Amino acid sequence: GESVGLHLPTLSVQEGDNSIINCAYSNSASDYFIWYKQESGKGPQFIIDIRSNMDKRQGQRVTVLLNKTVKHLSLQIAATQPGDSAVYFCAERNTGFQKLVFGTGTRLLVSP
Amino acid sequence: KAGVTQTPRYLIKTRGQQVTLSCSPISGHRSVSWYQQTPGQGLQFLFEYFSETQRNKGNFPGRFSGRQFSNSRSEMNVSTLELGDSALYLCASSAGGLNAETQYFGPGTRLLVL
């Protein structure tokens, strides 16, 4: 069946640390992946995406890694800040369909 | 560009009633998708509209329906509301191509069914 899961429901880090949020997906036909950040009372906010023909993609302070062999996705946040505190979701999509399948989410708590 | 907007932001209904939620996509975007977010089930896909046609559908009962207008604005309707329909309803817009592309979300409509 379709499922996208996360290993850690809550991740607590200190300000300035690097954070790594992991995600496992099960649909080998998925070829597009997105990370979203959701703050309380808001809709998911796009962070970064990656296509299946890539292994790594970097943005501003964020890096997404994709390992298709083990169907694993990770989001790395460098120099984590208190403003990064939120719930992070990974989502997968099968080309040809607009349906996103979301993981359960990881709550990131950043302490000053 | 203005982002995705949703109205109303909050809504309280009673069981058995029906509700209509509205979504205005980012200008130029032709695809609108709807998702339901609950603490128990997470984010689940309801349906997607493109050029006034439903292109994809999730596993929700027929009480959940939607439509899209010629200006790409979309509405979703839930009839015969149940307590379990209490959720945050999110819409997301994208350009509409079937290749990989980002979906941008609105702030959501929080529906409470009493």
Contacts of B31 in chain A (CB under 8 A): 98
Residue type, A38: Q
In whole angstroms, what separates CA A22 from the centre of its chain?
Answer: 7
Instruction: Specify whether the CB–CB gap between B32 and B22 falls below 8 A.
Output: no
Over residues B50-100, the pLDDT tens digits come to 999 999 999 999 999 999 999 999 999 999 999 999 999 999 999 877 666
In whole angstroms, what separates CA B84 from the centre of its chain?
Answer: 16
CB atoms within 10 A of CB A38: 21
Over residues A17-46, the pLDDT tens digits come to 999 999 998 888 898 999 999 999 899 999
| Residue among B42, B48, B100 minimizing CB distance to A99 | B48
Q: What pLDDT is recorded for position A2?
A: 38
Instruction: Specify whether the CB–CB gap between B24 and B36 falls below 8 A.
Output: no
Q: What pLDDT is recorded for position B40?
A: 81
Specify the 3-state DSSP secondary structure of A69: coil
Q: Do B99 and A34 touch (CB under 8 A)?
A: no
Query: Over pLDDT 90: what percentage of chain B?
Result: 86
Q: Answer whether residue B4 shows pLDDT above 90.
A: yes
Instruction: Specify whether the CB–CB gap between A108 and A15 falls below 8 A.
Output: no
Q: Which of B38, B103, B104, B109 to mutate to test the interface with A (most CBs of A within 10 A)?
A: B103
The pLDDT mean for chain B works out to: 94
**Span A73-81, average pLDDT:** 97
| Residue among B33, B102, B107 minimizing CB distance to A42 | B107
Q: Which band of pLDDT confidence, cut at 50, 70 and 90, is reported for residue A97?
A: confident
Angle B33-A23-A52 (CA atoms, 0-180°, nearest 5)?
A: 70
Q: Which residues in chain B (47-106) have CB-CB distances under 8 A to chain A? A: 48, 50, 55-56, 58, 90, 92, 94, 98-106
Q: Do A96 and B98 touch (CB under 8 A)?
A: yes
